[in-house]
Structure 1
Amino acid sequence: MTPDVQAVFDVLSDSSNAVDPKCFPADLQLAQRPGMYAWWGDAEACTVLGAELGVELPSLLYVGQAGATKWPSGKRSTATLATRIGRQHIRGNARSSTFRRTISALLLDQLQLVPAGGGRLDSPSNAVVSQWIAEHLTVGIVAVDDRDALGRVEQALLDQLDPPLNLDHCPSSAARARLTALRARISR
């Protein structure tokens, strides 16, 4: 059965469905499945992150997936919303999460974060990013059990929502070019 993209869109495009990272996952059974997620920023987050990019950001910042089959190889992922968001985005490091690398790159100067090489931050900086995420962002999730179709669902949502902090599968822009350059500072 093909996932209902509109139903996923309806949940992820409504910030009232998002929870504080300190409370994630609000529904453990739901989070133990593959699916889609959206990160939302409060007013301060949008101002601070947008200033680094030279644009005004909407509160819907980033959309991603957890657990999609990798194509063209057909390799099945075992990732779940809980592992992707909890372990990598909320408590991970910049190397394990594209989203976290993006947030870290945008906060690098303001929070005086220290890159540790290999796409990582040093431990104190990593803790600062985790705290900042917990204070300024919320995350909404939707289960999509069809791992084979999940990549197509993600692309459809990216096409509709065009979240400003997503780089892959989104139209190029000056802000995305700036974000790519900022992210490279952590990769060194």
Structure 2
Amino acid sequence: MNAVELLEPTKLWRASEVLTQPSPVPAAPGVYGWYFEQAPDPRLPRNQLLYVGMAPRRMTVRASKQNLRSRVRYHYRGNAEGSTLRLTLGCLLGLELRRVGSGKRLTFGLVGERELTAWMAEYARVCWMQHDEPWAAESELIAQLDLPLNLDQNRHHTFYPYLRNLRSSARARARSLPVGS
């Protein structure tokens, strides 16, 4: 697989560019990659591909309506419940995960999610490549590259135990706290 668009991107896109109308991100299946001008953890490098994701997810029961545009835009402005990238970044940045709404959803609350959105707008950059089978491309990339922020299919990475434990501890703490907003 040729992943030059992710490994040597001609452009890394900021939130302000991705969130415009019309968006430069195609409404197509593919894989996206995240770079950070400031690493979310001091042990991680800056300006290097740290995470890949895909859209849509391979679904056997129903077709997914996700595409590169909807997924990338969600990561920039959504919440930790719907974005494993946001969950990971928020935990690494020390934001407090909380139960919200009915108490089943876990996010960083209104204030924390706003802080994370602002941090991502300042430091996160994204690129993408269209691919008809993004689940296959993502698996291949995770197997071949050094992607410390990916957990799924990435147990071999040295950062995996730390990140898994950090996220697990944040979830456990959130479940012990009262429902917030």
| Structure 2 runs not aligned, ≥5 long | 100-104, 175-181
1:19 aligned to 2:6? no
Relative to structure 1, the CA distance from residue 86 to residue 102 in structure 2 (aligned partners, 3 Å threshold; closer, same or farther) is same
TM-score normalised to structure 2 length: 0.81
Aligned residues: 165
Q: Of residues 57, 60, 68 in structure 1, which corresponds to 2:45?
A: 57
What letter matches 2:147 in structure 1? Answer: P
Q: How much does 1:23 deviate?
A: 0.6
Q: Which is richer in helix?
A: 1
User: For 1:56 and 1:99, how far apart are their aligned partners in 2?
Assistant: 15
Distance 1:69 1:136, change over 3 A: same
Find the aligned partners of 1:95 and 1:81 in 2 and give their Cα distance.
Answer: 18
Of residues 111, 116, 133, the one that matches 2:98 is 116
Inter-partner Cα distance in structure 2 for 1:17 and 1:81: 16
Q: What CA RMSD, in Å, does the superposition of the two structures yield over aligned residues? A: 2.0
Runs of at least 4 residues of structure 1 off by over 4 A? Answer: none
The DSSP-based 3-state class of the residue aligned with 1:123 is helix
The alignment's TM-score, normalised by the length of structure 1, stands at 0.79
Higher relative contact order (CA 8 A, sep 6+): 1
Instruction: Give the match for residue 153 of structure 1.
Output: 137
Please list every run of 5 or more consecutive structure 1 residues that lacks an aligned counterpart in the other structure. none
Query: Would you say the 8 A contact 2:6–2:33 is kept in 1?
Result: yes
Per-residue CA deviation, residues 92-118 of structure 1 (Å, 9 max, x unaligned), is 11111000100000001xxxx332223
Seen in structure 2, the aligned counterparts of structure 1 residues 92 and 164 have a Cα distance that, compared at 3 Å, is same
Give 2:154's match in structure 1, choosing from 165, 170, 188.
170
Query: Could you say what secondary structure the match of 2:32 adopts?
Result: strand
Change beyond 3 A, Cα 1:155–1:74? farther
| Aligned sequence identity (%) | 27
- For 2:89 and 2:4, the matched residues in 1 are separated by 25
